[in-house]
Amino acid sequence: MKQGGGMSAADGAAFREVARELTGIALSPEKDYFVEGRLEAVARARGLSLGELAQAVRSAPRGALAQEVAEALLIAETSFFRDPGLFEVLRLQVLPELIAARRAERRLALWSAACATGQEPYSLALLLVEHFPELEGWDVDILATDLSQQALDYAASAVYTQHEVNRGLPARLLVRHFEREAMTWRPRSAVRRLVRFARVDLLRPLPPLPRMDLVLLRNMLIYHDVETKRGVLASVRGRMRSDGRLVLGSAETTLYLDAGFEPSPELGVYRVKDAPSEAPGGGAGGRPDAGAEALDRGPSAPREGVPAVDRGAPCI
Amino acid sequence: MDALVIDDSRAMRTILGGMLTDLGFRVVQATDGRDALARLAETPAARLALVDWNMPEMDGLAFIRAVRADRAYEGLKLVVVSTETEQAQMATALEAGADEYVMKPFTRAVIAEKLGLLGLAGPSA
């Protein structure tokens, strides 16, 4: 039966199966409108109908085209300063506390763990540049990771449309910290240089990472089952400082999933209360070895054990 | 909560007015800056004005300067909604007292998110 004018239920099921198999994301049939919307562009770019695209991924469910389909379904809607109340909490409460705690060592490690097309890590960078001048001279590192290579390529290019900068980005920050290039906008180098990108699969054993002071993991867990959520939370916690903070999406929680986190008074923010030592093979999904492949793509200039990538440059 | 929509285009007033109405605002329309000042005097409790830049009689920038010169409207949030997309012009509007700036074209989500930044998520939000 055709739905939404273009995609059959069987084709929808094929796409959902590819997404589940390659990314672990469980999309329900009710999300077929979303699947259709995302995949029309992929099909069109190949000169295929959605039905032909479905047939192609059925024929080669682990092939390059199937991977492209899965990635297209991963790219979440996002915007600069999505949930402005949360960024106010970061500005007024969380970051001042972390900065005070790190004053002696003068380094701060932040991780946007499901960064999609980059608006979240650049929002963090904008927050730091705009409101925390005392960080001048600190070693500030914002690691931005995602499973989708398409999303990461877009994020690393740092070129945003007028529509994207219209959304959620305060005009004062746009004027002060972006450069306009024809009809597109780009964060200035002072912002871009704070952020580096890498492909990381949170469902697999994580590659070596610095111990994080703050992790943003928003609107990723909601797509996964309980066991996967538990695995991801434990894995992420294993890469956090003992007083680190985790930020989840408004519909997500650590409660009943990971006792190693405790809720902060600030909504959506969780504190580590039990940071395990680095556990080898600590990935979430029982698919060994693959998480590390991601960072290998970057130039290998280790920075305290971290495979470093050039900041602000397309690096993966 | 009262809001002004100030634009010389009837179509644009209708679009923006519809969006604000959906968000729970009572909307008053004005066709240019001078008309808006008169409407504002009749609607002193207005919390928000969406204002176009290029209009006859009195343009958006002159309106913003007039409002910011009058302490009676201290609590009024001013959002420019304009086809002008040069950074220098945005900076001029912000320096004159605009609180936010939306480039045309825009979507409902853009307007809602800008209002969220100003603490005006909408009475029905």
| Mean predicted confidence (pLDDT) in A12-36 | 82
Say if the Cβ atoms of A162 and B103 lie within 8 Å: yes
Round the average pLDDT of chain A to a whole number and report it. 83
DSSP symbol at A303: B
Q: Which residues contact A219 (CB under 8 A, 6 or more apart)?
A: A76, A114, A249, A251, A252
Which among A163, A168, A180 has CB closest to B87?
A180
The minimum CA-CA distance between A35 and chain B, rounded to whole Å, is 21
Chain B residues close to A163, C-beta within 8 Å: 105-107, 110
Sorted by where each starts, the structural domains of chain A and their CATH numbers stand as 2-73 (1.10.155.10), 84-295 (3.40.50.150)
Say if the Cβ atoms of A175 and B87 lie within 8 Å: yes
Contact A35, A7 (CB under 8 A): yes
CA distance A146 to A174: 25
B90-113: per-residue pLDDT in tens?
A: 999 999 999 999 999 988 889 999
Which among B87, B91, B113 has CB closest to A79?
B113
Q: Closest residue of A to B81, CA-based?
A: A166
Q: Per residue in A198-236, is it b (16+ CB within 10 Å) or e — as a string? A: bbbbbbbbbbebbebbbbbbbbbbebbeeebbbbbbbbb
**What percentage of chain B reaches a pLDDT higher than 70?**
97
pLDDT confidence bin for A297, thresholds 50/70/90: very low
Write the ipTM: 0.93
pLDDT at residue A219, rounded to an integer: 86
Q: Closest residue of A to B115, CA-based?
A: A168
pTM of the complete model: 0.79
Chain B residues close to A166, C-beta within 8 Å: 102-103, 106, 110
Q: Domain B2-117, what architecture?
A: 3-Layer(aba) Sandwich (3.40)
Which among A79, A84, A175 has CB closest to B94?
A175
The answer to whether residue B115 scores a pLDDT higher than 50 is yes
The minimum CA-CA distance between A203 and chain B, rounded to whole Å, is 32
A170-181: per-residue pLDDT in tens?
A: 999 999 999 999
